[in-house]
């Protein structure tokens, strides 16, 4: 019984102690609550207070002049700049394919043009294609680069080609004369 009596009294003391803590925290909360409410009301009152507002620091004729300049800039300067930027972005895959000597450069150029026609929807495909490695081209031709797109000096290549053709023609003439004799 003494054991059980001690347990009951301990529980009663713990319960009273818990209630005292709850009551004391409720008292501090109730002390702070009106102060917080007043602070919030004052802040909301300051936010809701009407103040004078000005649409611009300019007035009258100056405001009209500035608005006209902005309008002319927006209608005359911005559209050509945006169009040039749009075109410049859409030729990036073509330039990448040229730099990497991509064998399908013509098709990538065509896709870039079609991308312009379709409002840029095909541009990501052209971008990926320009950076891809042409596997089947390598299987067919033994290389995955095409050097025929390089810009060579036309006069030098024409002269070299003419010399090669003359040498080949001379070879063929000697073969023909050697065959008839």
Q: Is the pLDDT of residue 5 over 60?
A: no
CB contact at 8 A, 63 and 56: yes
The answer to whether residue 80 sits within a structural domain is yes
Give the orientation angle of helix 123-131 with respect to helix 105-117, to 10 degrees.
160
Alpha-helical regions (H) of the chain: 2-48, 61-72, 78-90, 92-99, 105-117, 123-131, 135-141, 154-180
Q: Coil, strand or helix: which one is 76?
A: helix
Tally the domains of the chain.
1
Residue 25 resides in a domain: no
- Residue whose pair of structure tokens reads 């036309």 in the numeric block: 154
pLDDT tens, 117-163?
998 899 999 999 999 887 776 666 777 777 666 665 566 778 888 89
Quickly state the pLDDT bin for 96 (edges 50, 70, 90).
very high
For residue 114, what are the domain limits? 67-172
Q: Is residue 83 part of a domain?
A: yes
Q: Is residue 62 part of a domain?
A: no
| Mean pLDDT score, 32-58 | 81
Asked, for residue 118, whether it belongs to a domain, the answer is: yes
Say whether pTM exceeds 0.75: no
Mean pLDDT of 97-115: 90
């Amino acid at each position: 019984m003494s054991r059980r009596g001690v347990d009951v009294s301990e529980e009663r003391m713990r319960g009273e102690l818990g209630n005292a803590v709850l009551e004391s925290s409720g008292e501090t909360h109730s002390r702070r609550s009106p102060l917080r409410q007043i602070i919030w009301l004052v802040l909301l009152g300051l936010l809701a207070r009407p103040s004078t507002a000005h649409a611009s620091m300019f007035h009258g004729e100056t405001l009209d002049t500035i608005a006209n300049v902005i309008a002319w800039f927006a209608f005359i300067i911005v559209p050509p700049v945006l169009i040039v930027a749009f075109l410049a972005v859409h030729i990036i895959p073509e330039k990448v394919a040229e730099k990497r000597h991509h064998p399908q450069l013509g098709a990538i150029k065509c896709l870039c043009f079609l991308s312009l026609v379709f409002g840029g929807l095909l541009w990501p495909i052209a971008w990926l294609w320009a950076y891809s490695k042409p596997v089947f081209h390598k299987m067919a031709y033994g290389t995955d680069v095409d050097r025929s797109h390089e810009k060579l000096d036309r006069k030098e290549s024409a002269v070299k080609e003419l010399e090669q053709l003359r040498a080949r023609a001379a070879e063929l003439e000697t073969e023909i004369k050697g065959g008839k004799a």
